[in-house]
Amino acid sequence: MKPMPPRTLGMQLVAVTAAAVLLSNLAVAAWFGLGTERQNEAALMDRVVDRAASTALLLAAIPEKSRKVAAEKLSTGVWTFSIREGNPYIDPMNEEESRLAQRVHTLLPPDKARYPVLVDTLTEQAPAQVRTAIRSPRPAIRFVVPVLGDTKVVATFYRPESSPWPTELFVAALVAIAAASLAAAYVARRVTRPLSELAKAASIAAGGGPPPRLQESGPQDVRDAARAFNAMTDEVSRTLESQRQLLSAVGHDLRTPITAMRISLEFVDDAELRDRLLHNLDELQELTEAVLSAARGTGGEVKRNVDLSALLESICADLDDLGEPVSCNVEEEPAPLVCRPNEIRRAVRNLVENAVAYGGRASVRLAEHQGSYEILIEDDGPGIPEADQRRVFEPFVRLEGSRNEDTGGTGLGLTLVKAIAEGHGGAVTLENRAEGGLRARLRLPREAAAA
């Protein structure tokens, strides 16, 4: 399974910082490690050359009959020594081998410097008597150094195991990574916490609720973003309130001339003309009341705890008493919800009446999801084209061509439903059913609504 990269800004910042510190520590360790290895190799070769030359001089001072035994006694650790007569066969020396041979040759006295020093690089394993640990990957070195006349000492140096990187280096790298990660986490918290609050406030505002005022803290860029968001929400709130007051004032002012016109119509003698004018006034009165409802929107009622199941059953019972074809399939188990019940009642009733008017019947169901409720209203009508399923929530939009030609309405019912749903932190959507008809989904989150 492919590992998932960190998704949050804080985790990404910590991961990138830790990776950068780790890579920098590895680079520094490798740089100094290589430098130290080169220095150690140079010092080791100095000791090896000196040991080969000094051993030859020491064996030259020992009687001939004891040299072989003395050479074997000197064979300890990573060195083996043996006495040979004549010139042993050695492959032609390369440049590095010739350089080592020359260094050994310069350490010999003049009487021995007449004879050549030979150096050979070996690939065979060390003998059992050489008590070394795991072999270094670098090959052993064999020196053939003159002792007396044709007598030579063959000194073979087997490289010991390479020294591992010190534990302190790894501890220092871990400490550096931990310190850098903590610093990155602190910086990330100062940046991401205000951004998370900003995202949460923006979500509340997008859902139609009043966004909380953000605390202008953190780095300068984050403070500027919080200040701009607060200014934006203040301006939007002022604009919406101004529009709400304007609609409310227009609606109230229209009531007076409508009432006066009704009174005046009582003096019209022509009954047919009076009926037509009264019908027009009824439509105007209905439009006025719809505008006032849309202007009030949400927020005029205090939230309280209700049983959503009982509320839906009450709405269906009222409509059934009026002879409307409405069925309610709600379980008897309580569905507690903190809301503005009159607004929820108005929203559900609008959806049910639309289903009856345009789809012939309405079926109401309540589904419970984790943290939210869904009120489902279904009908048997022709449905709504997908391209228009969002547009019908706009004010004064009516799709009479795709629904029932004989229905009335102001085109504000679904607008009011949308405002009520978003005012409770929820949403309303429409979708065509596979078996025919339209389904309205009114989602009400319990936690958001209770806030």
What is the per-residue pLDDT for 309?
92
pLDDT tens digits along 330-385: 887 888 998 888 889 889 998 999 899 888 899 999 998 878 899 999 999 888 88
What average pLDDT does the chain have?
78
What is the per-residue pLDDT for 138?
60
Q: What is the DSSP string of 70-128?
A: HHHHH--TTEEEEEEES----PPP-HHHHHHHHHHHHTS-TTTTTS--EEEEE-SPPPT
CA–CA gap between residue 103 and residue 26 (Å, rounded): 36
Q: CA angle, 128 as apex, 123 and 130 as ends, to 5°? A: 80
Residue type at position 407: T
**How sure is the predictor about 439, in pLDDT bands with cuts at 50, 70 and 90?**
very high
What is the per-residue pLDDT for 373?
92
Backbone angles phi, psi at 322, to 5 degrees: -85, 5
CA–CA gap between residue 48 and residue 119 (Å, rounded): 12
**How sure is the predictor about 405, in pLDDT bands with cuts at 50, 70 and 90?**
very low
3-state SS assignment for residue 160:
coil
Q: Which of 169, 113, 176 is nearest to 145 (CA)?
A: 113
Class of residue 190 by CB neighbours under 10 A (exposed 0-12, middle 13-18, buried 19+) = middle
pLDDT tens digits along 166-206: 676 677 777 877 887 787 777 777 777 777 777 777 776 66
- For the chain, list the domains and their CATH numbers: 9-157 (no CATH), 300-450 (3.30.565.10)
Calculate mean pLDDT across residues 54-58. Answer: 88
CA–CA gap between residue 418 and residue 428 (Å, rounded): 6
CA distances from 179 to 21, 103, 174, 197, 420 (A): 10, 50, 9, 27, 51
Calculate mean pLDDT across residues 389-418. Answer: 67
Calculate mean pLDDT across residues 17-35. Answer: 74
The larger pLDDT score, comparing residue 348 to residue 279, is at 348
The larger pLDDT score, comparing residue 412 to residue 305, is at 305
CA–CA gap between residue 65 and residue 71 (Å, rounded): 11
What is the per-residue pLDDT for 163?
61
Percent of the chain with pLDDT over 70: 79
What is the per-residue pLDDT for 132?
46
CA–CA gap between residue 81 and residue 103 (Å, rounded): 19
Residue 249, pLDDT above cutoff 80: no
Calculate mean pLDDT across residues 294-315. Answer: 78
Residue 87, pLDDT above cutoff 80: no
List, in order, residues 6 or more apart from 93 with CB less than 8 Å away.
101, 118, 119, 120
Residue 398, pLDDT above cutoff 90: no
Of 50-64, 236-250, 399-413, the one with minimum mean pLDDT is: 399-413
The residue count of the chain comes to 451
CA–CA gap between residue 449 and residue 338 (Å, rounded): 6
What is the per-residue pLDDT for 258?
79
**How sure is the predictor about 312, in pLDDT bands with cuts at 50, 70 and 90?**
very high
CA distances from 370 to 104, 181, 295, 374 (A): 85, 36, 33, 11
